[in-house]
Amino acid sequence: MNRFFLGLAAVLLVSGLGVVAFSQRPWLPLENVEQPVPFSHRVHAGVNKIPCQYCHEYARRSRTSGVPPVQRCVGCHGSAVSGGLLPITRPWADHGHPSFEIRWNRVYTLPDFVKFTHRPHINAGLACQTCHGPVETMDRLVPVYEINMGFCLDCHNKRGATQDCEVCHH
Amino acid sequence: MAEGLSRRSFIKLAATASVAALPGCEPAARKLIPYVVPDDNVIPGVPAFYATVCAECSAGCGVVARVREGRVVKLEGNPVDPISQGALCARGQAALQGLYNPDRLGAPMLRRKDGTLEAVSWDKALGLLDERLQAAAKKGANRVAYFGSRQGPTLDKLARLWLSAWGSNRLIAYEALNDEAERAAAKACFGRTDLPVYRIDQAEALVSFGADFLETWGSPVEYARQYAAFRAPRPLHGGTVVGRSAYVGPRLSMTAAKCDQWVAARPGTEGLVALGVLNVLVNQGWLPHDSGVDLEALRGLVGMYTPAAIAGRCGVEAKAIVRLGELFGQAHSAVALAGTDDPTAHIGALILNTVTGNLGRTVVFTDAGPPPPPTTGRAEVEAQVAAMKAAEVDVVVVAGANPIYAMPASAGVAEALARVPLVVWMGQVPDETAAYAGLLLPIDHPLESWHDVMPRAGNYGLGQPVMQRVFPTMALGDLLIRSARAGGLGPKELPWQDASQAVAASWQELRARYQPSQSADDFWTSVRRHGGLFLQPGTAGVKLDPAVLKTAPNLPEPAELVLAAFAHPFFFDGRGADKPWLQEIPEPVTQVVWNSWAEIHPETARQLGLTGRASQLWLSAEVDVLEIASSQGRVELPVYIAQTVRPGVIAAPLGQGHSAYGRYARGRGANLFQLLPAGALSVAVKARPTGKKQRLVSPLGKSEMMGRALVEAISVEELARGVAPRPEAPEAPEPHEFYAPFKYPVHQWGMTIDVNACTGCSACVAACYAENNVPVVGEEGVERGRIMSWIRIERFFPAQEKAGHAPLLYLMPMLCQQCDHAPCEPVCPVFAAVHTEEGLNGQIYNRCVGTRYCENNCPYKVRRFNWFAPQWPAPLDLQLNPDVTVRGAGVMEKCTFCFQRIRHAEITAKLENRPVRDGEIVPACAQSCPSKAISFGDMNEPQSAMMRRRADHRLRNYAALAELNTRPAITYLRAVYHGKGKA
């Protein structure tokens, strides 16, 4: 009898671990992501009204929206010639990397088996906020929506977009 | 590639990209690293394309590299290049695995006294090299040698300059499989130093004297394309004409299998057969009188070689030789090819082409200026090796050649290199010769460096780096320039800083010669964009040297048992063996993977005391091991008994049997070069069974179709009469539709595959591996039936009773048929196998739980299951296509007509507010196909090229296993054969 319960316990433990592991869903947006630079979307997109795609310039052309190159930051924040980087108040932590390389921490990510592409969504006129929430009000970027398949399909349903599984999973 | 990309800050979105490298359920990379300064040429997520050239063989095909986030993920043929015309063979595709090979040397290595290797810095290595070179040069002239291979005009020039800097002229351009015999023949017959260009598509008859022109001979991609046109039914002379072809040689190679006749002559007697054919032509009076050849002299040359006289010596029936004569003499235009090591065969073929008036039509010498330089002749190589053995050389640089592997022990390369105080090996994956080197220097892969090729006169291919270095390697050209500088060459003799400048300077010379009106910049941009300079040369008038008709041919004596070695279609002379894709793609005729074998006739097997039953490799078989000994050495090989080789011959592929050359090549099969005398491909041998057993592994089971119609064929006569052949398959039952039919309002994707055009070359298979992240499972995996290829070449022998009324071999690409009534879909308990809105049988990897019901229910065996998480040892994983999911363990996977490409085109079309254009979507297999056997398109669109191809060949349409009523989206076109009777 003891052995039976031991076995049962083992099975339960293993399946429990499996459930826990699966419920982690490591590709969901992360809540508490600190960045190496105290960058504020509120200041940039909200106060200064910089269009999203000024920095995330690949969104309409590519799968990924892109993270702005450091050159884009420097373009506004001055340059070495004009007297250094102006309002960036704190240097980024990672100094072991090539000069001026910034290692941002991801907030949004998708698993390999989801082939989301920004290009058709942006070109269909969707606002970035539809999925990313009111980014222009956030100092630190936090996810508003849990981006999962239900979230995608809700919208695809409403708008009559494709519901073919293979379109995202291939 | 623009200098900008290669030299500026390298792509930093590696984190984004590496997401793709992780199996589905692992956490994705959590860092985003943007460029500091962005590159205008790179949009992350959007591929960039660079034109370059393939360096895998001397055909020099133009290539377009698809580069994602700074790393090349796929090679495709360059449509502008006249040789490849957009296609690329399996070897070319697999160049990627040479680039990303995990066994590439990662740092300069110095051999310690105890023989072990020690990594040293580049400065130290180059310093040591220069020091030793200086010492050598001080001792006198010609104390330094360069042991290279065919490497393109600019590198040749640099190697020469480098040697001159060290006071030497010992330059060896060594190729184990070279065109020496062919060049000698062209020289003897026409006084030409170049080789003719063949136009098989202009011919109506073809005889190949041992030339495997669809696999390894000459320019296989080009010839496969031409041969497909040759074999396509064409309206000509008021009827339907399908080119007739014959192959003369001891083994039914893939090329032979695609011919109408296989004349199984003894190895080495192909030339004699050619003389016999000439004899028939002369005696029958089938020769035109305006060919400019002295027919009396020809009669004098070939008079004694009547078919009856030579039949015994060649080991073929006299009738067969007469038939060859008829085939050649009665055709309006014909072409003879020769591909053996024997100059007589080449001379015979050239005379055949000349006397039948085909010179200038199907065989053309061009007037395009200087031909590519020849490889170093055998005598010269032997002299250089002798000099090394005599301690006349102090430093040898081995770059690109592997003489220890490819030359017989009797050539004495090992002793010679042992006598040289410093052997410097330069290359990628350390090979057998590297084991003899004191200094090993890692060199850029051709895809990482500037180079050029010149496959033939007037055809210049420019190789540009398509990505940054994978390892801390150095370009061979840069190294030579730097070392030559140290040797005292000043800016006058050596005006370039590095190889890129040297290449650019060579190309400006070409501009001055051929396009002087163009500005230097425009020209440079243009050749980089197009991948080279392709002139359209005219035909040179040549005349057969009458002396050749007076020279009695030197004919070898046939031996009792002969080893006929042949270049493996994927490993060629061994250089492909380090690439796992090439190891895992089955050789088309035997379907053997990961090994080499001795192919013998059942009769020969009995004579050797083995069973006379043909080998049936049902995934694997324990077979006898044969010991084969020649005057040069001995090897042991597993036996493959089949009727694909004539009696008295052991046919075996070159390319395996490496003792080094990386984890994928080492310790597989045997190295046949150990048996062959230098420069020969056949040799008299003795063989005996060892009593040992070994496994031969093949993914294919039965060699016959067992009465089912997977591959179908139609005879030319039936085609001309307009009747479809009687179906082989059981009658299809009247279909009862249980479910409502699917509706495809927008597209219904489909394919048309011309089995007649398919040569079995497996370029599609390699392309699919590359495009779709298909894992390699290794020999044991294949043995367990776990091969993962989504597309394969089906190979069947015709049933006994059909012999003569069927092609010699059935070869056909098999991939997911995207059935309308898919047996796989209703059995999936979790709806992972789904029917898409566009008619594909989708497979949703993240939903799949691995029941494998779908695989069981698939009649075509095209679904593949991941028994383990696939492995790509770094940096092979850098090749993975980020647009395709990397499947994890326990997941079923399959072909979806390259859905990522379909989707990309659909999105683009939608954004441009237009329908998808016909031809806009090209799946990887169709893209790579040299003979353009595969077309893809919309079945809803009757005017699409794919549907028109069906309509144009209505009589040849069939569906694989139609009786199952699966209603595939692939329509095959029957193979065409010439029925027996009228040969």
pLDDT digits (tens, 9 = 90+) for B267-315: 999 999 999 999 999 999 888 888 888 889 999 999 999 999 999 999 9
Residue B940 corresponds to which amino acid?
N
Q: Does B899 touch chain A (CB under 8 A)?
A: yes
Q: With 0-12 CB in 10 A as exposed, 13-18 as middle and 19+ as buried, what is B675?
A: buried
**Contact state of B844 with A166 under an 8 Å Cβ cutoff:** yes
A165 CB neighbours in chain B (<8 A) are: 834, 836, 842, 844, 847
Nearest to A101 among B33, B45, B907 (CB): B33
B883 CB neighbours in chain A (<8 A) are: 63, 115
Q: Does B43 touch chain A (CB under 8 A)?
A: yes
B903 CB neighbours in chain A (<8 A) are: 115, 167, 170
Nearest to B907 among A30, A103, A120 (CB): A120
Number of structural domains in chain A: 1
Give the Cα separation of B443 and B419 in Å (integer): 25
Q: Which residue has the higher pLDDT, B28 or B550?
A: B550
Span B569-620, pLDDT tens digits: 999 999 999 999 999 999 999 999 999 999 999 999 999 999 888 888 888 8
Q: For residue A79, what pLDDT band results from cuts at 50, 70 and 90?
A: low
- Tell me the residues of chain A between 47 and 106 that have a Cβ less than 8 Å away from chain B: 58, 61-64, 66-72, 98-106
Picking from B816, B770, B771, B822, the residue whose alpha carbon sits closest to that of residue B792 is: B816
CA atoms B718, B720, B724, B728: torsion sign: positive
**Contact state of A162 with B837 under an 8 Å Cβ cutoff:** yes
Token digits for B253? 């190679």
pLDDT at A88 over 60: no
- Which of B13, B22, B30 has the most A C-beta neighbours within 10 Å, making it the best mutation to test the interface with A? B30
A102 domain residue, yes or no:
yes
Which region holds residue B107: left if phi is over 0, alpha if psi is between -120 and 50, else beta? beta
Q: For residue B28, what pLDDT band results from cuts at 50, 70 and 90?
A: low
User: What CATH number does the domain located at B562-697 have?
Assistant: 2.40.40.20
What percentage of chain A carries pLDDT values higher than 90?
48
Token digits for B383? 């002299």
B838 CB neighbours in chain A (<8 A) are: 164
Q: For residue A70, what pLDDT band results from cuts at 50, 70 and 90?
A: confident
Q: Does B897 touch chain A (CB under 8 A)?
A: no
pLDDT, average across residues B879-895: 95
**Are B949 and B688 contacting, i.e. CB atoms less than 8 angstroms apart?**
no
Could you give the 3-state DSSP secondary structure of residue A93? Answer: coil
pLDDT at A124 over 60: yes
Span B413-470, pLDDT tens digits: 999 999 999 999 999 999 999 999 999 999 999 999 999 999 998 999 999 999 999 9
pLDDT at B792 over 60: yes
Q: For residue B936, what pLDDT band results from cuts at 50, 70 and 90?
A: very high
pLDDT at A136: 95
pLDDT at A26: 64
Q: Which chain B residue is nearest to residue A23, measuring alpha carbons?
A: B25
Q: Does B540 touch chain A (CB under 8 A)?
A: no
| Partner residues linked to B145 by β-bridges | B170, B396
Domain ranges of chain B: 1-39, 197-364, 562-697, 713-734+753-977
Q: Which chain A residue is nearest to residue B847, measuring alpha carbons?
A: A169
Q: How far is B591 from chain A (nearest CA, A)?
A: 30
Calculate the average pLDDT of chain B: 91
A114 CB neighbours in chain B (<8 A) are: 846
pLDDT at B336 over 90: yes
Whole-Å CA distances, B478 to A46, B295, B454 = 52, 56, 20
Q: How far is A37 from chain B (nearest CA, A)?
A: 13
Strand pairing category for B363-364 and B197-198: antiparallel
Q: What is the DSSP string of B452-508?
A: EEEEETTEEEEE---S--SSS-B-HHHHHHHHHHHTT--TTT---SSHHHHHHHHHH
Span B350-397, pLDDT tens digits: 999 999 999 999 999 998 888 898 999 999 999 999 999 999 999 999
Find the angle CA(B373)-CA(B374)-CA(B377) to the nearest 5 degrees.
Answer: 145
DSSP structure class, residue B247: E
Q: What is the DSSP string of B713-741?
A: EEEHHHHHHT-PPPPSSPPPPPP---SPP
pLDDT at A87 over 60: no
Picking from B225, B221, B224, the residue whose alpha carbon sits closest to that of residue B54 is: B221
- Phi, psi (5° rounding) for residue B360? 90, -10
pLDDT at B715: 92
Span B299-312, pLDDT tens digits: 999 999 999 999 99
What percentage of chain B carries pLDDT values higher than 90?
81
**Contact state of A71 with B35 under an 8 Å Cβ cutoff:** yes
A66 domain residue, yes or no:
yes
Nearest to B44 among A27, A58, A106 (CB): A58
**Contact state of A26 with B37 under an 8 Å Cβ cutoff:** no
Nearest to B907 among A101, A119, A170 (CB): A119
Give the Cα separation of A13 and A170 in Å (integer): 33
Picking from B19, B152, B22, B48, the residue whose alpha carbon sits closest to that of residue B529 is: B48
Picking from B805, B735, B819, the residue whose alpha carbon sits closest to that of residue B982 is: B805
**Are B786 and B860 contacting, i.e. CB atoms less than 8 angstroms apart?**
no
Picking from B785, B155, B187, the residue whose alpha carbon sits closest to that of residue B478 is: B155
pLDDT at B207 over 50: yes
**Are B955 and B722 contacting, i.e. CB atoms less than 8 angstroms apart?**
yes
Give the Cα separation of B802 and B725 in Å (integer): 13
**Contact state of A166 with B13 under an 8 Å Cβ cutoff:** no
pLDDT at B343 over 70: yes
**Contact state of B883 with A115 under an 8 Å Cβ cutoff:** yes
Q: For residue A27, what pLDDT band results from cuts at 50, 70 and 90?
A: low
Whole-Å CA distances, B762 to B705, B768, B880 = 20, 10, 20
Residue B727: is the preceding peptide bond cis (ω within 30°)?
no
**Contact state of A165 with B836 under an 8 Å Cβ cutoff:** yes
Q: Does B19 touch chain A (CB under 8 A)?
A: yes
**Contact state of B16 with A64 under an 8 Å Cβ cutoff:** yes
User: What CATH number does the domain located at B197-364 have?
Assistant: 3.40.228.10
pLDDT at B736 over 80: no
Residue B43 corresponds to which amino acid?
I
pLDDT at B826: 93
Nearest to A112 among B9, B847, B885 (CB): B885
Q: How far is B22 from chain A (nearest CA, A)?
A: 7
Task: Say which CATH architecture domain B713-734+753-977 belongs to.
Answer: 2-Layer Sandwich (3.30)
Q: Does B886 touch chain A (CB under 8 A)?
A: yes
- Which of A23, A55, A112 has the most B C-beta neighbours within 10 Å, making it the best mutation to test the interface with B? A112
Q: Which residues of B556-707 form beta strands (DSSP E)?
A: 562-566, 598-600, 620-629, 634-641, 649-653, 682-684, 686-697
B667-671, B709-713, B824-828, B938-942: lowest mean pLDDT where?
A: B709-713
Q: How far is A153 from chain B (nearest CA, A)?
A: 16
Q: Which chain A residue is nearest to residue B33, measuring alpha carbons?
A: A103
Determine the structural domain holding residue A84 and report its residue range. 34-168
Q: Does B632 touch chain A (CB under 8 A)?
A: no
Q: Which residue has the higher pLDDT, B335 or A14?
A: B335
Q: For residue B982, what pLDDT band results from cuts at 50, 70 and 90?
A: very low
**Contact state of B46 with A66 under an 8 Å Cβ cutoff:** no
- Residue listed under structure tokens 């999105």: B907
- Tell me the residues of chain B between 823 and 882 that have a Cβ less than 8 Å away from chain A: 834, 836-838, 840, 842-847
CA atoms B468, B474, B475, B481: torsion sign: positive
A23 domain residue, yes or no:
no
DSSP structure class, residue B110: E
Q: Write the CB contacts of B16 (distance below 8 Å, at least 6 apart in sequence).
A: A64, B29, B32, B44, B69
Token digits for B14? 């590696």
Give the Cα separation of A34 and A38 in Å (integer): 8
- Tell me the residues of chain B between 113 and 152 that have a Cβ less than 8 Å away from chain A: none
pLDDT, average across residues B191-220: 94
A162 CB neighbours in chain B (<8 A) are: 837
pLDDT, average across residues B504-523: 95
Q: Which residue has the higher pLDDT, B793 or B703?
A: B793
pLDDT, average across residues B849-857: 95
pLDDT at B23 over 60: no
Instruction: Note the ipTM here.
Output: 0.84
pLDDT at B687 over 70: yes
Q: Which chain A residue is nearest to residue B912, measuring alpha carbons?
A: A123
B37 CB neighbours in chain A (<8 A) are: 69-71
A52-61, A100-109, B502-511, B861-870: lowest mean pLDDT where?
A: A100-109
A17 domain residue, yes or no:
no
- Which of B887, B903, B912 has the most A C-beta neighbours within 10 Å, making it the best mutation to test the interface with A? B903
Q: Which chain A residue is nearest to residue B12, measuring alpha carbons?
A: A101
Q: Which chain A residue is nearest to residue B746, measuring alpha carbons?
A: A162
Nearest to B34 among A67, A105, A111 (CB): A67
Q: Which residue has the higher pLDDT, B879 or B706?
A: B879
Q: How far is A38 from chain B (nearest CA, A)?
A: 15
**Contact state of A112 with B46 under an 8 Å Cβ cutoff:** no
Q: Does B746 touch chain A (CB under 8 A)?
A: no
